[in-house]
């Protein structure tokens, strides 16, 4: 006889904690609150929390203006989100999703502060876009209740969530999160615990190659993006997309791929490294492959 799979219900998940109020964190918070969940959004920086809540309010207002939600729905969604800077606020969370920067030591430090405050049955997920789920899970007190839950940016719009098991992730944990993704109105795809999973394993080397194409003088920023939009029907050119993702994040993912796969084809382009060293991180810093200081983005190279 075939063994029975555990029930896939996520009904016990009612309160979701989010660690990080940046672009990904506030997007996940908005999505969860819009889905009817109580949301606890934590960040060590109160200014970041204020910016995150302002971003959620602006996003919901755009939906209201387009007739997608009512003013009452917007108000109810905002009311479901509580913010704070103390990990103790997450004591009653059923699920906590870490959405901090793509740096392993930062994430490990967060889990060290988080886990002692949680109830034993709480699930912890990481929104990492490239790091080992097995290794991150091993740094917690609950590797069987830990997994990867990689949302796409912008979270309220993008349908996909990559689900990644660590070697110790329990089947009940995985099944519950898979069910939860459906309740959030998203579509899950299961990915193996290998560097960068599926989307970024395919996407970031393409972006890195576009940067090499610029670096080697094959084309300009404008022509490389136009070529991929018009020639491959991409909605956004690879350099424009890199700016949208954040060049520091692109570099971090390429470094994980290069080290994790041990293959020179994943070597980050030196020009990408230089842009990050210059603090030219893309849209979030106002300058990357485009300059965003004016009314219209202007190529910087």
> 102, 126, 130, 162: which is the annotated catalytic residue?
162
pTM exceeding 0.95: no
Helix (H) / strand (E) element for 123: namely strand 123-126
61 is catalytic: no
CATH topology of domain 15-191: Rossmann fold (3.40.50)
> 10, 26, 59, 129: which is the annotated catalytic residue?
129
Helix (H) / strand (E) element for 267: namely none
> 59, 132, 200, 208: which is the annotated catalytic residue?
200
DSSP-assigned letters across all residues of 174-207: HHHHHHHHHHTT-EEEEE-SSTTTTHHHHHHHHH
Q: Does domain 200-299 match CATH 3.20.20.80?
A: no
* Omega prior to 154 cis, within 30 of 0: yes
Q: Phi/psi zone of residue 131: left (φ > 0), alpha (ψ -120 to 50 degrees), beta?
A: beta
Task: At 54, list the tokens.
Answer: 């302002």
List per-residue pLDDT tens for the chain, 301 residues long: 444 444 458 889 999 999 999 999 999 999 999 999 999 999 999 999 999 999 999 999 999 999 999 999 999 999 999 999 999 999 999 999 999 998 999 999 999 999 999 999 999 999 999 999 999 999 999 999 999 999 999 999 999 999 999 999 999 999 999 999 999 999 999 999 999 999 999 999 999 999 999 999 999 999 999 999 999 999 999 999 999 999 999 999 999 999 999 999 999 999 999 999 999 999 999 999 999 999 999 999 8
φ, ψ of residue 41 in degrees (nearest 5): -100, 120
**Whether the Cβ atoms of residue 2 and residue 54 lie closer than 8 Å to each other:** no
Helix 23-34 / helix 71-79 crossing angle, nearest 10 deg: 110
Buried b (16+ CB within 10 A) or exposed e, 55-86: bbbebbeebbeeeebeeeebeebeebbebeee
Q: What is the pLDDT of residue 192?
A: 96
Q: What is the pLDDT of residue 9?
A: 83
The domain ranges of the chain are 15-191, 200-299
**Whether the Cβ atoms of residue 238 and residue 206 lie closer than 8 Å to each other:** yes
Task: At 48, list the tokens.
Answer: 């970041």
> 10, 150, 208, 240: which is the annotated catalytic residue?
150
102 is catalytic: no
């Amino acid at each position: 006889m075939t063994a029975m799979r555990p029930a896939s219900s996520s009904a016990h998940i009612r309160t979701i904690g989010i660690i990080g109020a940046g672009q990904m964190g506030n997007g996940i918070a908005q999505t969860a609150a819009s889905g009817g969940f109580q949301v606890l959004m934590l960040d060590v920086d109160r200014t970041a929390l204020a910016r995150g809540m302002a971003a959620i309010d602006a996003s919901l207002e755009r939906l209201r203006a387009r007739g997608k939600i009512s003013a009452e729905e917007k108000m109810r969604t905002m009311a479901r989100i509580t913010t704070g800077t103390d990990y103790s606020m997450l004591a009653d969370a059923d699920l906590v999703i870490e959405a901090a920067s793509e740096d392993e030591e930062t994430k490990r430090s967060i889990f060290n502060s988080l886990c002692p405050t949680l109830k034993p049955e709480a699930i912890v997920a990481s929104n990492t876009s490239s790091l080992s789920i097995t290794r991150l899970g091993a740094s917690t007190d609950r590797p069987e209740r830990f997994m990867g839950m990689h949302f796409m940016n912008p979270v309220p719009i993008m349908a996909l969530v990559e689900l990644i098991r660590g070697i110790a992730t329990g089947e009940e944990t995985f099944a519950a999160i898979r069910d939860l993704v459906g309740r959030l109105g998203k579509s899950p795809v299961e990915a193996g615990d290998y560097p960068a999973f599926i989307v970024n394993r395919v996407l970031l080397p393409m972006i890195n190659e576009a940067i090499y194409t610029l670096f080697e003088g094959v084309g300009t920023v404008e022509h490389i993006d136009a070529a991929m939009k018009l020639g491959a029907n991409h909605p956004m050119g690879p350099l424009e997309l890199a700016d949208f993702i954040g060049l520091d994040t692109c570099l971090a993912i390429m470094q994980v791929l290069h080290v994790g796969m041990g293959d020179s084809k994943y070597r980050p382009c030196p020009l990408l490294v230089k842009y990050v060293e210059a603090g030219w991180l893309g849209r979030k810093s106002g300058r990357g492959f485009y300059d965003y200081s004016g009314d219209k983005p202007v190529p910087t190279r």
